[in-house]
């Protein structure tokens, strides 16, 4: 472990005492930072492409369009109220980043690893997912072997992320608008079939093409799968709400930034994607083309991911260009993930050249993409949800027990936080290990983490809070406004 965190139990490590809160004058309204940044994450096609995707017959449309949309709305609200809001308020009230605020829940030494180092490690999983799906689309236009494309894409994205946020910002200004335009265009093409969509006919079609597909999801099954998909994708970004909150002026900025940039963005992007799939299979013409294409795949499988339906919707006219543009627009999210990872490693491994630490992560990302492991997006979402669900749950309870303020760093490794995380992680990882299919595993991991932290705290398992020297910059809520 780094020398700077090897301190006596009653003394704070230098990485905590040297942290400076972001002052009020450097903060801005929610519509200038939090909302657009978060919205850009959900415009990434790797998120909205899986709005219907599930192995079960009929996917997440097995109970109809209305229930799928309602399940999506509920998942979006869970992201905002459970996973983002408390981290955002903590960032706003303290002005301090996640790896400092997390020391209350996991200890001054433990917080260095959780969530600090873990955040960086998991970002390379996201980079791998980005490489895999982006390269599939790029290969339609670029005549190079897939491993070559994946390697070049991964190295370039991680290099830009390593160079710093100013370089990431240069590639992220307008590119995220491309997926929005494409989504609206595809919706316009398929809207006529939405009213004719029949979930039972859809299930029957799925079974005829994939006879071994699992039985259709129940009403609760659709909700649980939607929670797994949406919340698992969002979990790390929820914890990162601390960092977003440091740029918020007050509670209203935190609330509005999440409601618009997270909840509304989820509903719009994944909701439009869901409607496109329903409209495709509700249209006799598009449905016939999609079914014919699905029968030709090896093994035969119904096409449920929205980007894969584009050739059928556009009937081959310009489909390659549209997919290429989606891949290009996915470059900023890859850079952003690499940037977060680089910052995490620079903080937790300051004695290691970042080109080495980030370089190793880049190699891992590329290997995950080339082997196809990164292509199993839902499983990636489950792993991330299992890892960060209990972190967010424990942080929320820690915040509430402290009177809705940040209590400050705790000595060493706070047992309550680590026991809570371990319990939540075990619950969240069970479906991936095929031990037990926990419904909505990322949400279950959050709940278990929260409950266990509460119990541990009441049993006196929290380590001592070490007073943090007061510094200017943290926003102090007015009386009665601390909630």
Report the distance separating Cα 364 and Cα 341, nearest Å.
13
Q: What is the pLDDT of residue 106?
A: 97
pTM over 0.85: yes
Task: Please return the burial class of 4, using the count of CB atoms within 10 Å of its CB with bins 0-12, 13-18 and 19+.
Answer: middle
Q: What is the pLDDT of residue 480?
A: 36
Domain limits, the chain? 30-375
pLDDT digits (tens, 9 = 90+) for 13-34: 877 888 889 999 999 999 988 9
Instruction: At 367, list the tokens.
Output: 């290997």
- Bridge partners, 410 (sequence order): 465
* Spans of the chain below 70 pLDDT: 1-10, 164-173, 470-483
Q: What is the pLDDT of residue 120?
A: 85
Helix ranges restricted to H, 173-313: 177-190, 199-209, 219-239, 241-245, 251-258, 265-282, 284-296, 306-313
Q: What is the pLDDT of residue 471?
A: 62
- Is 127 within 8 Å of 330 (Cβ atoms)? no
Instruction: At 464, list the tokens.
Output: 């001592």
Helix (H) or strand (E) holding 388, with range, is helix 377-401
Fold classification of 30-375 (topology level): Hydantoin permease (1.10.4160)
Helix (H) or strand (E) holding 366, with range, is helix 354-370
Report the distance separating Cα 101 and Cα 410, nearest Å.
10
Q: What is the pLDDT of residue 4?
A: 41
pLDDT digits (tens, 9 = 90+) for 373-414: 999 887 888 899 999 999 999 999 999 999 999 999 999 999
Give exposure, 249-265, as e/b (b: 16+ Cβ within 10 Å).
ebbebbbbbbbbbbbbb
- Bridge partners, 465 (sequence order): 410
């Amino acid at each position: 472990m780094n020398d700077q965190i090897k301190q006596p139990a009653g003394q704070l490590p230098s990485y905590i005492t040297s942290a400076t809160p972001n002052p009020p004058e450097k903060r801005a309204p929610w519509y200038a930072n939090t909302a657009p940044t978060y919205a850009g994450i959900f415009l990434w096609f790797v998120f909205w492409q899986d709005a219907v995707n599930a192995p079960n017959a009929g996917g997440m449309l097995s109970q109809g369009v209305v229930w799928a949309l309602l399940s999506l709305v509920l998942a979006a609200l869970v992201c905002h109220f459970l996973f983002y809001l408390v981290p955002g308020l903590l960032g706003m009230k303290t002005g301090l980043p996640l790896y400092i605020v997390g020391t209350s829940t996991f200890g001054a030494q433990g917080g260095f690893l959780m969530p600090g180092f873990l955040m960086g490690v998991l970002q390379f999983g996201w980079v791998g997912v980005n490489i895999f799906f982006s390269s599939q689309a790029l290969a339609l236009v670029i005549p190079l072997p897939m491993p070559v494309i994946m390697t070049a894409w991964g190295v370039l994205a991680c290099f830009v992320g390593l160079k710093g946020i100013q370089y990431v910002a240069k590639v992220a200004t307008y590119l995220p608008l491309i997926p929005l335009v494409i989504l609206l265009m595809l919706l316009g093409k398929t809207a006529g079939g939405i009213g004719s969509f029949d979930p039972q006919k859809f299930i029957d079609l799925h079974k005829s093409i994939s006879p071994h597909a699992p039985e259709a999801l129940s009403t609760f099954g659709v909700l649980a799968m939607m929670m797994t998909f949406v919340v698992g994708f969002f979990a790390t970004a929820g914890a990162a709400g601390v960092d977003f909150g440091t740029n918020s002026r007050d509670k209203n900025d935190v609330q509005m930034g999440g409601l618009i940039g997270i909840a509304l963005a989820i509903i719009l992007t994944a909701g439009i994607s869901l409607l496109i799939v329903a409209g495709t299979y509700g249209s006799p013409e598009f449905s016939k083309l999609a079914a014919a294409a699905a029968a030709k795949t090896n093994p035969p499988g119904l096409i449920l991911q929205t980007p894969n339906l584009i050739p059928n919707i556009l009937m081959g006219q310009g489909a390659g260009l549209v997919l290429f543009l989606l891949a290009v627009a996915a470059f900023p999210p890859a850079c952003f993930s690499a940037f977060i990872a680089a910052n995490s490693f620079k903080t937790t491994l300051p004695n290691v050249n970042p080109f080495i630490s980030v370089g190793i992560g880049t190699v891992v990302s590329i290997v995950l993409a080339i082997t196809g492991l990164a292509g199993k997006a839902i499983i990636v979402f489950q792993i991330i949800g299992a890892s960060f669900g209990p972190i967010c749950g424990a942080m929320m309870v820690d915040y509430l027990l402290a009177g809705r303020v940040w209590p400050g760093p705790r000595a060493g490794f706070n047992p309550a936080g680590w026991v809570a995380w371990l319990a939540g992680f075990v619950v969240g990882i069970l479906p991936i290990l095929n031990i037990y299919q926990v419904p909505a595993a990322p949400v279950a991991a959050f709940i278990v983490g929260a409950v266990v932290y509460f119990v541990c705290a009441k049993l006196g398992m929290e380590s001592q809070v070490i007073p943090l020297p007061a510094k200017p910059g943290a926003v102090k809520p007015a009386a009665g406004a601390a909630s």
